[in-house]
Amino acid sequence: MPSSPLDPARLTAELIRCPSVTPEEGGALQLLDEILTGAGFACTRVNRGGVANLFARWGPKGAERTFGFNGHTDVVPVGDEAAWSVPPFGAVEKDGMLWGRGATDMKSGVAAFVAAAVDFVAETPPDGAVILAITGDEEGDAVDGTRALLDWMDENDERMSACIVGEPTCPDRMGEMIKIGRRGSLSAWITLTGVQGHSAYPHRAKNPLPAMARLMDRMASHTLDEGTEHFDPSTLAVVTIDTGNPATNVIPAQCRATVNIRFNDAHDSASLIACIQAEIGRVAAEFGVTGEMQVKVSGESFLTPPGPLSDLVARAVEAETGATPVLSTTGGTSDARFVKDHCPVVEFGLVGQTMHQVDERVEIDQIHQLKAVYTQILRDYFT
């Protein structure tokens, strides 16, 4: 057991110094494994597909009440290192900030819940169990990260009763937002094929470009919905249209486009895919071309309805920050989309203004605040 409280800011700095760009472990999970094992947690490395993951449990397996935290230690690439004012993995402290890749997203969140869990079980051993599920594959394809941990837990009869994902959730001020759900995400790669020909003789060709322009206009102009009780309206973004044609006297045979849809709980991916396919069929018939589509679904929309878990987190946030958090479903996807199939889940973490940016940084005081919030949540949950 640690003789003094575990400093979450110092632990964040140690994690930043681990160059854990997805899928490299970089020493981050090894560091956490050593700390948690020393604090009495039963640790298991759940590695899959070349990805390192860490499962840690304090308390009895199969406990009736088991509170969990989920997070990741992998980070996005640094980009142009010359554009940084500090070494990206240097964990420099200046101006009350801790600087480095992963400072916000989300080594600070992992450090805060690790420090909270270690100190909590040492000071007031709970009647139950605390589980930490930490992945090295959140910023990548996320196939062998939290999914692997949850698969392993199912196979080994490990269970969380409730879980917090420690992603940054606050837009501007510490404590202002809790995420109780996320929109789904779907990307579609569409190809329309006509007949190549000379641009001086368009009647001898079948040009897929006007067809694609019509298709993209129809899709982008269509209102998917007006929003639901807990979600903003769904959105469709056209992200690229391309032929790869350098010639001005050639009508190309193919045109490709990609769209991304962020959808609320008025839809599921299957219904949206069917709608897109139907629209492709209509335009293809209208222009005499053929169409095909490939789709990747990154996650379905989900909601943890406001209730005991969000109330528990909100009380702790208000007690430690003085802010009354709003319950939100905004933003992109997170690993909560996987955890929601295992147990009730919400997200709460730091202010995320600089995540993925050059000179990523976090207020050191906020890291300590976050540990205090997580500690209060554990106290209230097991009281």
Q: Name the band, by pLDDT with cuts 50, 70 and 90, for residue 208.
A: very high
The CATH number given to 184-299 is 3.30.70.360
The CATH number given to 8-182+301-382 is 3.40.630.10
pLDDT at 160: 98
Angle at 179 between CA 172 and CA 48, to 5 degrees: 110
What's the whole-model pTM score? 0.92
**Does 105 participate in catalysis according to the annotation?**
no
What mean pLDDT is predicted for residues 121-147? 96
Backbone CA torsion sign across 187, 191, 192, 197: positive
What mean pLDDT is predicted for residues 37-56? 97
Return phi, psi of residue 195, to 5°: -130, 125
Q: Which of 14, 25, 33, 74 is the catalytic position?
A: 74
Q: Which of 25, 105, 138, 265 is the catalytic position?
A: 138
**Does 144 participate in catalysis according to the annotation?**
no
Cβ neighbours of 3 (radius 10 Å): 5
pLDDT at 3: 60
The yes-or-no verdict on residue 1 having pLDDT over 90 is no
Question: Which residue's entry shows tokens 């390192």?
Answer: 52
The yes-or-no verdict on residue 30 having pLDDT over 60 is yes
Mind listing the pLDDT tens digit for each residue in 163-201? Answer: 999 999 999 999 999 999 999 999 999 999 999 999 999
Backbone CA torsion sign across 34, 35, 39, 40: negative
What average pLDDT is seen over the chain?
97
Give residue 184's identity as a one-letter amino acid code.
G
What mean pLDDT is predicted for residues 238-251? 97
pLDDT at 177: 98
The maximal CA–CA distance of the chain, rounded, in angstroms, is 83
Q: Output the six-digit token pair for 156.
A: 């080994």
Domain layout of the chain by residue ranges:
8-182+301-382, 184-299
